A = this chain, B = another copy of it.
Amino acid sequence: MKRAVVLLSGGLDSTTCLAIATRRDGYEAHCLSFAYGQRHADEVEQARQVAGRLGAASHRVVRMNLEAIGGSALTDHSIAVPKGRDEASIGAGVPITYVPARNTVFLSVALGLAEVLEAEAIYLGVNALDYSGYPDCRPAFVEAFSQLAKVATAAGLEGHAPRIEAPLLQLGKAEIIRLGVSLGVDYGITHSCYDPAPGGLACGACDACLLRAKGFADAGVADPTRYVR
């Protein structure tokens, strides 16, 4: 069976991406999650549950202390996560929740795993429409990494570098949710909050919560998220 590496945070986007890889595109999925010193470290355990529920063939967790780099509200706990921003603010500029080069780092490790597993694709759930203004969620980034993959590994030298698949790139949040629902995804097991309360309850006010809630409303799908308020 053909193999793919799927970057999985257990959030709405990456969970949809996993369903696309397995249920639509027919891949044996090998999931990869990261414990990188993030504020919302619970996501790693939730990713494990998502991988199990969606029938992933394997799930690896790579730990790295990106707090040694800092520069983000997600890894530097002295920087507050912005709350209650309006849509125009969320779309304008690079926010403080941006983790410098995070998707580059995650894709690089995925590239190594793809080499070991001889996987033919790497899936990641970035999208460039209803997104948070992160530079590494844009088509130009995905394209540049695809080119890098062709020269960075032994598989690339042999002409079979993994394809970088970003199937959500041009979809809005509501479209992503509708696609996931059509593939049988239960979004009740996913989470998106950057700053969850104890027990994993979503704050309802960070950029990730606001984009997610609007996506469910726009899609006409009941929001299964458990909020703190």
Contact = CB atoms under 8 A, between A and B. Distances in A.
A154 interface: yes
A157 interface: yes
Contact of A116 (B64, B100, B116, B147): B100
A115 interface: yes
Interface string A45-72: 0000000000000001111111011110
A66 B152 contact: no
Interface string A139-180: 011001101101111101100000000000000000000000
A113 to B, nearest CB: 5
3 shortest interchain CB distances as A-B pairs: A101-B112, A71-B116, A100-B112
Interface of A: 60-66, 68-71, 94, 98-105, 107-109, 111-113, 115-116, 135-136, 138, 140-141, 144-145, 147-148, 150-154, 156-157
Given A62-B65, A62-B68, A144-B147, 20 more contacts: A61-B68, A62-B66, A62-B69, A69-B109, A69-B112, A71-B116, A100-B111, A100-B115, A101-B115, A101-B153, A104-B108, A104-B152, A104-B153, A108-B108, A135-B157, A141-B148, A144-B144, A144-B151, A145-B152, A147-B147
Nearest to A103: B152
B135 A141 contact: no
Given A66-B62, A135-B154, A102 B112 contact: yes
Nearest to A134: B154
A136 B109 CA distance: 14
17 contacts: A60-B69, A62-B68, A62-B69, A63-B64, A69-B113, A71-B115, A98-B154, A100-B154, A104-B112, A104-B152, A104-B153, A105-B105, A105-B109, A135-B154, A141-B151, A144-B148, A144-B151
